Amino acid sequence: PTIVASTMVTIVNLIGLVVGASILTMMLVNLYVPGLQIDALLAKGMIYFFGHVFINATIYMAVIAVYEILPRYTQRPWKSNRVFLASWSASTLMVMFIFPHHLLMDFAFPKWMLIMGHVIGYLNTVPILLVTGYGALMLVYRSGIRWDMSSRLLYVSLFGWAAGAMPAFIDGTISVNYVMHNTLWVPGHFHTYLLLGMLAMVFGFMYYLGKPDRDAPDGLLDRIAFWCYTGGTLGFALSFLYGGKESVARRYAVHLPEWVPYDKAGAAFALLLISGALWFMLRFFARLGQTRHDHARTPEPASCPAVTA
């Protein structure tokens, strides 16, 4: 699974970076040579293509930690099969053509692009997420897994990824998109799958990397930080989603008095998730520093005497 995911990310990221670098170069040239005009619609499409490919590749890179580390806790291999390979192969193509589902309200874009983004927006939700989520459930089921901070964070990250994809799936419906896309519903979607999905995978990897040994216990503060981070992220994301349900607009510098309670609730939950994330990072760097200190104190092994015939 790791090789498959890495290959997919390499392919799509390479194409995305080339497109992003191209439009950046064109814009810089236009800045110094205003006479050289850029088609605004083409520029917007290239920017959206780069951004959407890049952020999707980010979570696909992070899920490699789940494929590599979770089987070590369950003592079961995560095997590749035809369904797994077909899912990742399909997503390799779909992730490069899905970005127009963010542009359903942009009437200037060609209609065929909007239809393509709409259809692929539905299809791309299923393959990798379903295969990875189902695979993780089967991997953990009756495995006698050792739950520690790393395995907890990696496992809950799959929930965050799946839960965060659902609001996007709903918003991909044109009748819903027409009402919800310019509300806080959209930040609720991507904060869920980035904070409780991708970032939880990163923190799970950091805990695994920083453990001094396999059986090292987690402290009470670690467990408190886990629940602060998980609960804080859920509350923070739900405050966005509920605000979107109440038609609270995004990108507004000043909110109406009726919208402020949602902001205050989100800020309170944000304090919880920030405190948990800060503890995760402090714990990682403390363990990293301790490892370097122990390594520096370890004496060099005595050289073996030369063997002569």
pLDDT recorded at residue 309? 42
**147-197 tens-digit pLDDT:** 999 999 999 999 999 888 888 888 888 888 888 888 999 999 999 989 999
- CA 106 vs. chain centroid, Å, equals 26
The pTM (predicted TM-score) of the whole model is 0.87
| Model confidence at 308: pLDDT above 80 | no
In whole angstroms, give the CA distance from residue 106 to residue 118. 13
In eight-state DSSP terms, residue 258 is G
Q: Are 171 and 189 in contact (CB under 8 A)?
A: yes
**247-295 tens-digit pLDDT:** 899 888 888 899 999 999 999 999 999 999 999 999 999 988 776 655 4
| Inside any domain, residue 107 | no
pLDDT recorded at residue 304? 45
| Inside any domain, residue 207 | yes
| Inside any domain, residue 199 | yes
pLDDT recorded at residue 292? 62
| Model confidence at 241: pLDDT above 70 | yes
In whole angstroms, give the CA distance from residue 93 to residue 127. 12
| Inside any domain, residue 262 | yes
Residue type, 31: L
- The radius of gyration of the chain's CA atoms, rounded to the nearest angstrom, is 23
What total of structural domains would you count in the chain? 1
| Inside any domain, residue 47 | no
Structural domain harbouring 270: 147-292
pLDDT recorded at residue 20? 96
In whole angstroms, give the CA distance from residue 231 to residue 47. 34
**37-91 tens-digit pLDDT:** 899 999 999 999 999 999 999 999 999 999 999 999 999 999 888 988 999 999 9
84-93, 123-132, 228-237, 244-253: which range is least confident on average? 123-132
More confident residue, 210 or 17: 17
| Inside any domain, residue 115 | no
| Inside any domain, residue 215 | yes
Task: Return the closest-CA partner of residue 188 out of 240, 251, 265.
Answer: 240
| Model confidence at 124: pLDDT above 90 | no
pLDDT recorded at residue 16? 95
pLDDT recorded at residue 307? 46
| Inside any domain, residue 132 | no
Task: Return the closest-CA partner of residue 122 out of 179, 59, 165.
Answer: 165
